[in-house]
Amino acid sequence: MQWLYLGIAGILEVFWAVELKLSQGFTKPLHSVFTIIGMVASFYFLSLSLKNLPLGTAYAVWTGIGTVGTLIVGIILFKETIDAIRIVCISLIIIGILGLKFLSPH
């Protein structure tokens, strides 16, 4: 269950990061509220996962999901550029996340 909580926390991190961009420096009230709600929810699910997962593993996976997810959303929604070196770097992050997941004793 702790890995499910961690996955939810990572997805919520992507959500709040996107909302933070859409808030335009907290000048858009609705997106600002969504940013804060997403942050609180993400930290809540991260805290649930930390009951049973090692801190370093959970934090690395959480930020990795957020990093990869926001990059993908940025490319899709905000037309950010993608090139071979970015794909290689993101692939390394994904490999790291999977390694931490499958090599974890929890």
pLDDT in tens, 78-106: 999 999 999 999 999 999 999 988 887 76
Tokens 């997403």 found at: 38
pLDDT in tens, 5-42: 999 999 999 999 999 999 999 999 999 999 999 999 99
d(CA 85, CA 90): 9
Does 61 score more than 80 pLDDT? yes
- Residues spanned by the domain of 36: 2-103
Q: Quote the number of domains for the chain.
A: 1
Helix or strand run (H / E) with residue 70: helix 55-78
Q: Which residues of 4-13 are buried (b: 16+ CB within 10 A; e: fewer)?
A: ebbbbbbbbb
Q: What is the pLDDT of residue 103?
A: 84
Tokens of 73: 């959303």
Q: What is the pTM of this model?
A: 0.89
Q: What is the pLDDT of residue 100?
A: 87
Q: Are 34 and 77 in contact (CB under 8 A)?
A: no
Does 48 score more than 80 pLDDT? yes
d(CA 30, CA 10): 22
Q: What is the pLDDT of residue 25?
A: 98
